[in-house]
Amino acid sequence: MPRHSSSKEDPSIRLLKVGERVRHILSELLARGEVHDDVLSVHTVSVTEVRMSPDLRQAKVYVKALLGEDEGPVLKALQVNTAYFQREVARRLGLKFAPKLQFRVDESFDEASRIDQLLDDPKVKRDLGVGRDFDEEG
C-alpha cells in the first residue's frame, strides 16, 4: 500500500486543528468561570479564532466581549491571566510546551458592520441595481 506523501497542506491542517482545540479550551475556561478574575466573571467573552504559528509555540487569540462593551478592561484581564490560560491549554492539550498566548480584540465584526453600512448607502444600492440589470440583459 502506498504511503501517504506529505504535502504543503498537512502542516496547515494541523495548525488549524490545534488552533481550534485551543479555542475550545479557552472558551470552556471562560464559559465555566474557571478564571478567578472580577472583570472576566462579569463579562461574557467569546473566543472567535486562534491562529497558531507554524512551530505551535505562539497563538494569537482573537476575542470579543459580548456586545463589544468594555473591551479594554476585558483584554487587560485576559492578559493578566495569560499564565493560567497557558498552563491549562498545555495540560489539556498534552503538549510538551505551552503555546505563548497573545490576546487581541477581534475587529472583524466591526469591519463587517462597516461594510454593511456602505452597502446600505443609497448610491451604492443604485449602482448595484444598475449592475444587476446589465447582468440580466447580457
Question: Measured between alpha carbons, how far is 128 from 91 in angstroms, rounded to an integer?
Answer: 52
pLDDT of residue 113: 64
> Which residues 6+ apart lie within 8 Å of 29 measured at CB?
35, 85, 88
Confidence of residue 99 (pLDDT cuts 50, 70, 90): very high
Mean pLDDT of 32-37: 90
Q: Is the pTM of this model over 0.85?
A: no
Binned at pLDDT 50, 70 and 90, residue 96 comes out as: confident
Q: Where are the domains of the chain?
A: 9-106, 107-138
Q: Which residue shows C-alpha cell 469591519?
A: 111
Phi, psi (5° rounding) for residue 52?
A: -90, 145
> Mean pLDDT, to the nearest integer, of 111-132?
66
In the three-class reduction of DSSP (H, G, I as helix; E, B as strand; rest coil), residue 26 is classed as helix
**Per-residue CA distances from 131 to 91, 121, 125, 136 (Å):** 55, 15, 10, 9
CATH top class, domain 9-106: alpha beta
Mean pLDDT of the residues in the chain? 81
Is pLDDT at 110 greater than 70 in this prediction?
A: no
